[in-house]
Amino acid sequence: MDFHELVTTRKSSRGYNPSAPVPPDVLTRILDAGRLAPSAKNLQPWKFLVITSPEKLDEVRACYDREWFRQAPQILIVKGDRNAAWVRPADSWNSLETDMAIAMDHLVLAAHAEGVATCWISAFDSVLLHKVLQLTPDEEIFAITPLGYASPDTETRPKTRKPLDEVVEYR
């Protein structure tokens, strides 16, 4: 699959086969793509949490109460440390969310290249997630994704995007 086909066919999956976890070698390749993501000043202010134990899955699932989210056999979380991210001297802008978004995008696209389904999720209960992951005040979760194989009866939404001439300007 070339890159254009990869980004054209990737879609959010909201249905998973609960009994088909992602095998360790596939998971490692996906995680390595996240590791290779660029970040401001190459500070890599992230950790990738792979939630696999039944106890932790139960706790994290409670943070985003959807039937399809409960089906996923694994959950991947990009955790960031605000103190470890780059701060622009001119105006103190902190790169944490940008760095985490790039890492997540690498992870999600790498997953799709392996045939693994994902769905960016930010609408989780942030307070509860901080509690169940025992995060410090400086640690942040920007997005999480289920990991697994899409169930055949998964509801799919058509890929709707603004046309290119609406989002591109040549000056």
Ligand X SMILES: Cc1cc2nc3c(=O)[nH]c(=O)nc-3n(C[C@H](O)[C@H](O)[C@H](O)COP(=O)(O)O)c2cc1C
Nearer to ligand X, 33 or 117 (CB): 117
The string of DSSP codes covering the chain is --HHHHHHH--B---B-TT-PPPHHHHHHHHHHHHT---GGG---EEEEEE-SHHHHHHHHTTS--HHHHH-SEEEEEEEEGGGS-B-TTT--B-HHHHHHHHHHHHHHHHHHTT-BB--B--S-HHHHHHHTT--TTEEEEEEEEEB-B-TT----------HHHH----
Q: Which residue is nearest to ligand X (CB)?
A: 123
The answer to whether 1 contacts ligand X (rule: CB under 6 A) is no
The answer to whether 29 contacts ligand X (rule: CB under 6 A) is no
For the record, the structure tokens of 23 come out as 């095998």
The answer to whether 7 contacts ligand X (rule: CB under 6 A) is no
CA distance 61 to 155: 20
Residues between 61 and 120 with contacts to ligand X, criterion CB under 6 A: 119-120
The answer to whether 11 contacts ligand X (rule: CB under 6 A) is yes
The answer to whether 159 contacts ligand X (rule: CB under 6 A) is yes
Nearer to ligand X, 157 or 162 (CB): 157
Nearer to ligand X, 48 or 120 (CB): 120
Residues between 118 and 157 with contacts to ligand X, criterion CB under 6 A: 119-123, 143, 157
Nearer to ligand X, 41 or 126 (CB): 126
Nearer to ligand X, 3 or 170 (CB): 3
**Interface residues toward ligand X, by CB under 6 A:** 11-12, 119-123, 143, 157, 159
